[in-house]
Amino acid sequence: MSVQFFESAHRYKIDGRWATSVTTALKGIPKDGVLTRWAAKTVAAHALDNISTLAESIESFGYGPALKMLADVPNEKRDTAAVRGTEVHALAERYIAHEEIEVPDELMPYVRGYAQYIDDWNPTSLYEEAIVASRTHWYAGRLDSIQDVPDLGVCLVDYKTSKGVYGEYALQCAAYRGAEVIVVDGVEQPMPELDRVLILHIQPDTYDLVPVDAGPEVFEKFLTAKANYLANVQSRKLDKLIGEPLVREVA
């Protein structure tokens, strides 16, 4: 009986069976107008900021490749933020452990923002980069940090370096909070009781510590997103409901 993470596949197994990861389950959240508007604004801003390069690209390679490049801009922005968040968290984890770190120039403002949080709140790390899992609902994930924060208590702290703090983060945190076990040095322990759930929104040279509603109702929303992912999004199952065009046979 165990919870395992497979780095190459970025997937989890619980007791030898594949489990849905928390971040994968969030793909079941219906895409609303806010996300569509963000993507459109991102593409428009990129086109205006790079209008000369875009014109040269169209002239050299044609309309199709340029269109594909613009269509990929939102995904690239999202992936860049995710990679930056991962790198900043790795540095932050070493910082909170009082290790010496070398920080790339492009990440230095974010690390200064994190350092400001440490100076202001003086948290004590209890768990870092810990795997959590639920056998009841068959999912697993890796939370960023659980800290004892003076005046706030035991807090789940999720690090974000994105432009904003978005509602889906609450579902992600609720999933971590709703897990039954946490894995420490390969050994399962009961998930600790939490006093608060917080987003540490790290920005260049500053931060915001944002409280998050990650209670039972939000947890149910996460489970609904997970169910929608498994039923409809995984392997593009809805596409399989569409058949091939009919051909009328002529006698």
Report yes or no: 149 and 155 within 8 Å, Cβ to Cβ: yes
pLDDT at position 209: 97
| Predicted confidence (pLDDT) at residue 38 exceeds the cutoff of 90 | no
What tens digit of pLDDT does each residue of 234-251 get?
876 666 666 777 777 776
CATH topology of domain 20-30+86-237: Lambda Exonuclease; Chain A (3.90.320)
Mean pLDDT (the chain, rounded): 84
Of residues 141 and 161, more confidently modeled: 141
**Residues facing residue 4 across a β-bridge:** 13
Q: Which has more confidence, 139 or 245?
A: 139
Q: Say whether pLDDT at 67 is over 90.
A: no
pLDDT exceeds 60 at position 16: yes
Whether 129 shows a pLDDT value over 70: the answer reads yes
Strand ranges for 55-106 from DSSP E: none
CA distance 142 to 186: 13
Q: What angle do CA 132, 134, 135 make, to 5 degrees?
A: 135
What confidence score (pLDDT) does residue 56 get?
67
Domain residue limits, the chain: 20-30+86-237
So what's the pLDDT on residue 39? 55
Q: Which residues of 62-76 are buried (b: 16+ CB within 10 A; e: fewer)?
A: eeeebeebbeebbee
107-126 pLDDT per residue, tens = 889 988 998 999 999 999 99
Measured between alpha carbons, how far is 41 from 55 in angstroms, rounded to an integer? 19
What pLDDT score was predicted for residue 66? 61
pLDDT in the model for residue 34: 45
The amino acid at 102: E
- State the maximum Cα–Cα separation within the chain, in Å, rounded to a whole number: 83
Joined tokens for residue 64:
């199709």
Average pLDDT over residues 184-197: 96
The C-alpha atoms of residue 145 and residue 89 are separated, in whole angstroms, by: 9
